[in-house]
A = this chain, B = another copy of it.
Amino acid sequence: MNHEYPQGIKWTKQRKDVYNILHDAAEPLSAQQIYNQIAKADEDGSYAPSTIYRILGAFEEKGLVRKTTWMDDSTVVYELKRGGHTHYAVCLTCHKRVPLRSCPFAHIHFPETGDDFQITEHKLELYGYCKECKNAKK
């Protein structure tokens, strides 16, 4: 836990735990995943599920986290807002997710939308087959 907790919010034990889990996560997590992780780690009884949801809601309001869903799965997931953003390639067979090492839009302009729509963010997911599943199919 060698990191600072952002200011302007009350840091209870529960909130710190959730924050730490998101901080160490390799990819966006659902409320359930966070709950399970806490339940496993915490001997002294875990938190109420509702608490996790409320904490995530509070984090979102404060702009600490980004709320999204994977497009192939309707579960809501949360990720800490860091400097940049990451896109993923998702395997259609084993559902493994591989982060892209760069954003294809870094130096590319977005297409016109017809009206003068002002683009500020974007989300991209690639789908296909990972090395293992591709070979397995042969």
Which residues in A have some Cβ–Cβ distance to B below 8 Å?
A: 67-76, 89, 91-92, 98-105, 108, 110-131, 134
Contacts and interface: CB of A to CB of B under 8 A. Distances in A.
A5 to B, nearest CB: 27
A71 B74 contact: no
Nearest to A92: B120
Contacts of A100: 111-113
Given A125-B122, A126-B122, A131 B117 contact: yes
7 contacts: A74-B74, A104-B110, A108-B108, A110-B126, A116-B134, A118-B128, A120-B127
Given A69-B69, A110-B104, A131 B119 contact: no
B127 A125 contact: no
Nearest to A87: B111
Closest 10 CB pairs of A and B: A121-B127, A119-B128, A120-B128, A89-B113, A74-B74, A118-B128, A123-B125, A115-B131, A118-B129, A71-B123
